[in-house]
Amino acid sequence: MLRAFTIGAAKLARAQRRVLVSAVVFAMSCGTAVAQGRIYRDGSFWVEETTGTMTAGRSFKAHMDMGSITYSGGASGNTITYVVRKRVSAGSEEQARRVFEAYRITARSGDVDVLSGDVEGDWRRGSVHVAVTGPRQQQLVKVSTDGGDVGVMHIEGRAEVNTDGGNVNVDDIVGTADIETGGGNAHVGLVKGDLQLRSGGGNVDVDNIGRNAALETGGGNIGVNRVNGDLAVTTGGGSITVKQVGGHLKATTGGGALELGNVGGAVTAETGGGSIRLSSGAIVTAETGAGSIQCMNVRRGIRAETGTGAIVAEFTAKRGEFTDSRLEAGMGDIIVYLPADLAVTVRAAIDLANGHSIQSEFNALKVTQSEGFGPQEVYAEGALNGGGPTLKLHTTNGNISLRRLKKIVSSDDQR
């Protein structure tokens, strides 16, 4: 009797284990896609973990109704492996199973491998994460989710990433990348091709782009380390920080500060009310509603305007390279550094000069003050080194100062 009971218990246990595995085997559209898994307890949560494999095609596409997903290239062979972890809070395994069944994963292998996660019931108490590992040599990896985080790393082709509200992480892409998130933060490491990125309102962090980049967020901050080509960056109200751009730069914000580093080409910088700082640029356009402007190492010319704030401009243009320039401050000082041998015609004016003045380290500049009652105007004009393109300086209420640019002697010059 006892032996019969023991044998029966053992059979029941084996049967339960078979049910445990078979309950989480996925429905596949092709015989080359295989998956199986297990269910286990993790504290007060139940977890269903499933591992599947697919024969890799030329491209991979995945869409999840909810949950996060990552694709990482670099796997050996011609196989795609994915691990799905569903996690729910439930009072019993039976209750957990019913919740797990509401979220179904399907996989299809072919020239384009497809992985999808579909919610068919109540999934409010659960979370899902899908980790995919596949070959690096993919022509296209296209991954999207209706709300979770998304990541794509280490592929030689094109990356397309879309999430309605999650965070994005993209890195080590040999081709181009197109990224869109409804409101999450976005981090981009290395993309050797072009980058297009749009966020509804999150912060954007970009490290190294091999060609051109266009970045846009509805209101977050944007930080860029290096773009070898042209860069266009826009935020509805956050700050923008850019360290190095090989080509042209256009940076626009509704009200944040602009911290711009070395730019090889032309610069357009606009903010509704923050400050603008630039380390170097060729032809510069800088405009702010109520902040200061500081543009150093301007190699050609500049047009700068602020409603309230000071303007500092350092010109390093050589003979024949300087172009017509204008600095305009509603209320604020203007300080200009010019090379001693630069051929330029200067016209400077202060509308309300009571207590303010024009100072110059160049003898060719003649300063005149108006006479009579009422607000006094101070203006100056002169042809430096025989004259050349025009440099216009104007402030309603502030000082104007023209100074000689001091040459920095390098170690090569000293030798």
| Count: domains in the chain | 2
- Indicate whether 204 belongs to any domain: no
What pLDDT does residue 374 have? 60
Model confidence at 263: pLDDT above 80: yes
Using left for φ > 0, alpha for ψ between -120 and 50, and beta otherwise, residue 320 falls in left
13 or 143, which is more confident? 143
Same-domain status, 262 and 346: yes
- Indicate whether 86 belongs to any domain: yes
Given 112, 136, 164, which residue is the final one in a domain? 164
Same-domain status, 360 and 249: yes
- Indicate whether 214 belongs to any domain: no
Same-domain status, 309 and 405: yes
Instruction: Judge residue 354's burial from the number of C-beta atoms within 10 Å of its C-beta, 0-12 exposed, 13-18 middle, 19 or more buried.
Output: exposed
9 or 159, which is more confident? 159
Given 116, 133, 164, which residue is the final one in a domain? 164
* Mean pLDDT value across residues 76-83: 90
Q: How far apart, in whole angstroms, are the C-alpha atoms of residue 130 and residue 114?
A: 13
Same-domain status, 110 and 257: no
* Mean pLDDT value across residues 158-165: 95
pTM: 0.87
Same-domain status, 44 and 157: yes
- Indicate whether 119 belongs to any domain: yes
- Indicate whether 181 belongs to any domain: no
SS3 of residue 211 by DSSP: coil
Same-domain status, 325 and 409: yes
β-strands 240-245, 222-227 pairing? parallel
- Indicate whether 190 belongs to any domain: no
Given 131, 146, 164, which residue is the final one in a domain? 164
- Indicate whether 401 belongs to any domain: yes
Average pLDDT, the chain: 88
SS3 of residue 94 by DSSP: helix
Range of the domain at 136: 16-164
